[in-house]
Amino acid sequence: MNEELNSAVNETLSELNPVTLHYFESCVSCGLCTPHCPYIVAGPEYEPVNKAEELRKVWRKRLTAVGYVLGSIVNAGYPKDEDDLKRMTYMAYRCVNCGNCLNTCPFGIYSGELIKILRGFLSTLGRAPTILKRLSDIESGDISESGVTMDLWNSIIEKVRGGIGKELSSDREGAEVLYLPTVLEAILTPETIISTSRILDTLGIDWTFPSKPLGFEFGIGSFIGDRESERKTLERVHSYVKRIGARKVLLSHGGTTYEEMRFHMPSLIGEKVNYEIMHVAEYLYDLYRARKFEIEAREVKVAWHDPCKLRNSGVKREPREILKASSKGYRELPKSQGVFSRCCGGGFGIALLSEDLKELKRLIGLSSEVEGWEADFIRDLLKDYEIVMREKSKEVIQSGAEVVVTGCPTCIFSLNKGSELTGGAFRAVHISHYLLDKIKV
């Protein structure tokens, strides 16, 4: 085994703990997770068991006597050539880390967690998509040092000022609520930031807003298994929150940002947090129940799409109750049942590889062209991403919804792309943007 491969294997072993050991040992390949994986429509080879098995092969070779001795006979081994690396990379990036595999598995195995470790293994071997690697590297430092990024952020601040009709009180220590939007939202859904800010101002909330961007997604390193980048980003965000001293941190990004801050941050930074982290859907629901505002009902055929990270966190009732109050035309998406929903297809960094995100590439100084293994990889992944988006769009069209409301910029991007691909029968918007003209104080 060469030194690079040995280092990559050793890196994965740092992720081995009682929980991941259970994921490694306990799968019986029953296949119950298969129909719930969004990327199974791109090919039967992408069932969760097969994808997680790519890491199990490596661990079986290193950790078990039978794997060490018998190798491929017991499906144990390391990647030997380009074909092996290509297969592993394709498998690792047909996962959105949606959690449906965990919710289905009778043994409580989260294949998505093993796939996340597999991505880290591949990154050590130089198999991380260039844009995700660049984003991870930049986010681990001070992204406000980029003049282009600060120009974008300053333009958002000016739009927020225009929206609320007065000076924005940035970085105000002692504010009750600290609203933390991300750079990705500024690129994909700037109207979300403006609408959320206007709602907070309309409701008379004691709130503040960062004068500088804190991250692209607050933990984008997780997309390529870069724990150090993840940790540094969250430490920086946590330090800022402590300085402001807010009791509540409000997020409008209900994807990776929400999960990283709400659940992973304490263990990664080694410190408990003494403030509440909420998505805007949760926050507005609490205010609505407390009769802080009314909602003007409209005749809109509207449905809620569950961002995977909000759904897995138990945030399901809150947005639905608000939307039901907003329209008699509310309906459920057919595949949103209980703890399950069909993912938009763009999570876990996949949407960031889209050719449409030219502004993001410009911000980080990347050309639109990639070469070598990555060119084929990106081309094939985007084809599969399109298949998944089309499948999600069929579900929305089946529901009859004209507006799909959600709480994640990646979901909004993917849903609108899917709508374009299937005839434009619906549009996707953030819950803040949808409610802006319906909230009555």
Helical H runs in 64-189?
65-70, 82-92, 100-104, 111-124, 130-139, 147-164, 183-188
Asked if residue 34 lies in contact with residue 47, where contact means CB atoms within 8 angstroms, the answer is: yes
C-alpha 150: how far from its chain's center? 23
Q: What is the pLDDT along the chain (441 residues), one digit of tens a residue?
A: 688 999 999 989 999 999 999 999 999 999 999 999 999 999 999 999 999 999 999 999 999 999 999 999 999 999 999 999 999 999 999 999 999 999 999 999 999 999 999 999 999 999 999 999 999 999 999 888 877 899 999 999 999 999 999 999 899 999 999 999 999 999 999 999 999 999 999 999 999 999 999 999 999 999 999 999 999 999 999 999 999 999 999 999 999 999 999 999 999 999 999 999 999 999 999 999 999 999 999 999 999 999 999 999 999 999 999 999 999 999 999 988 777 888 999 999 999 999 999 888 888 888 768 889 999 999 999 999 999 999 999 999 999 999 999 999 999 999 999 999 999 999 999 999 999 999 999
Burial (CB count within 10 angstroms: exposed 0-12, middle 13-18, buried 19+), residue 64: middle
**d(C-alpha 19, C-alpha 250), whole Å:** 30
**d(C-alpha 114, C-alpha 106), whole Å:** 17
pTM of the model: 0.95
Element (H, E) at 20: helix 18-25
**d(C-alpha 12, C-alpha 121), whole Å:** 6
Asked if residue 342 lies in contact with residue 37, where contact means CB atoms within 8 angstroms, the answer is: no
Q: Which of 36, 31, 51, 23 has its CA nearest to residue 107?
A: 23
**d(C-alpha 292, C-alpha 19), whole Å:** 43
User: Would you give the DSSP letter of residue 403?
Assistant: E
CA geometry: angle 249, 264, 30, nearest 5 deg: 130
C-alpha 7: how far from its chain's center? 28
**d(C-alpha 419, C-alpha 343), whole Å:** 14
